[in-house]
Chain A
Amino acid sequence: NAGVTQTPKFQVLKTGQSMTLQCAQDMNHEYMSWYRQDPGMGLRLIHYSVGAGITDQGEVPNGYNVSRSTTEDFPLRLLSAAPSQTSVYFCASSATGGTQYFGPGTRLLVL
């Protein structure tokens, strides 16, 4: 089992560019989530999904889109990157919600 994988590990974007952060899990988990971690801010939930075809907003959803077409994949899209989106992004999955298993993270720098 690879668990939760994220690509890329590191990305530099210019303001206004778009990109997709990839997340995949091979544990057949229904729940998947995206978080961002900023210094002094802990982990903040961006979007989450309770199953294929179902997504919902977390506490900081603005500037991000998600979709969940399969159980395995949960990509996070930045449509027009802003410097405020410079952060470390973590994807997580869970069988039933609650206890979650995290990927290694994507470090994003927006210039």
Chain B
Amino acid sequence: DQQVKQNSPSLSVQEGRISILNCDYTNSMFDYFLWYKKYPAEGPTFLISISSIKDKNEDGRFTVFLNKSAKHLSLHIVPSQPGDSAVYFCAAYNAGNNRKLIWGLGTSLAVNP
């Protein structure tokens, strides 16, 4: 029972273009959503988060959008750079339920020069 789903295992975009990574969830009790980035042979690093009371959060080239009615969030990277090539994980948790992170399976992003 995958509560957090990243349906695209991989994505390829051209440098300078927009990358859009998608994530769907089934548990309406989630109230925080996070994106992590992972390079090979390294641990995941926190990228950006959003709480369920917002619909958008922006940090530099990274913007996360949340559509609660559709139980969908997306990460936009503009403009994409070759250094953004990594695996991106979506995760969610409920602040009142021991805050355990529930993870998606990841999307591998390749940004081509």
A34 on interface, CB distance cutoff 8 Å: no
Overall SS of chain B's interface: loop
Q: Closest residue of chain B to A44, judged by CB?
A: B103
CA–CA, A79 to B106, complex, Å?
30
Q: Which of chain B's residues have a CB closer than 8 A to the CB of A94?
A: 99
Count A-side interface residues using an 8 Å CB cutoff: 25
Residues 36-73 (chain A) with a chain B CB within 8 angstroms: 40-45, 48, 50, 56, 58
Q: Closest residue of chain A to B104, judged by CB?
A: A42
Overall SS of chain A's interface: strand
Q: Closest residue of chain B to A42, judged by CB?
A: B105
| Selected contact of B44 from candidates A44, A48, A102, CB within 8 Å | A102
Most buried by B among A96, A100, A101: A100
A interface residues, Cβ below 8 angstroms from B: 4, 31, 40-45, 48, 50, 56, 58, 90, 92, 94, 96-105
B interface residues, Cβ below 8 angstroms from A: 32, 34, 41-46, 49, 89, 93, 95, 98-101, 103-106
**Other A-B pairs beyond A56-B98, A104-B41, 9, CB < 8 Å:** A4-B43, A92-B43, A94-B99, A97-B99, A97-B100, A98-B99, A99-B34, A99-B46, A100-B101
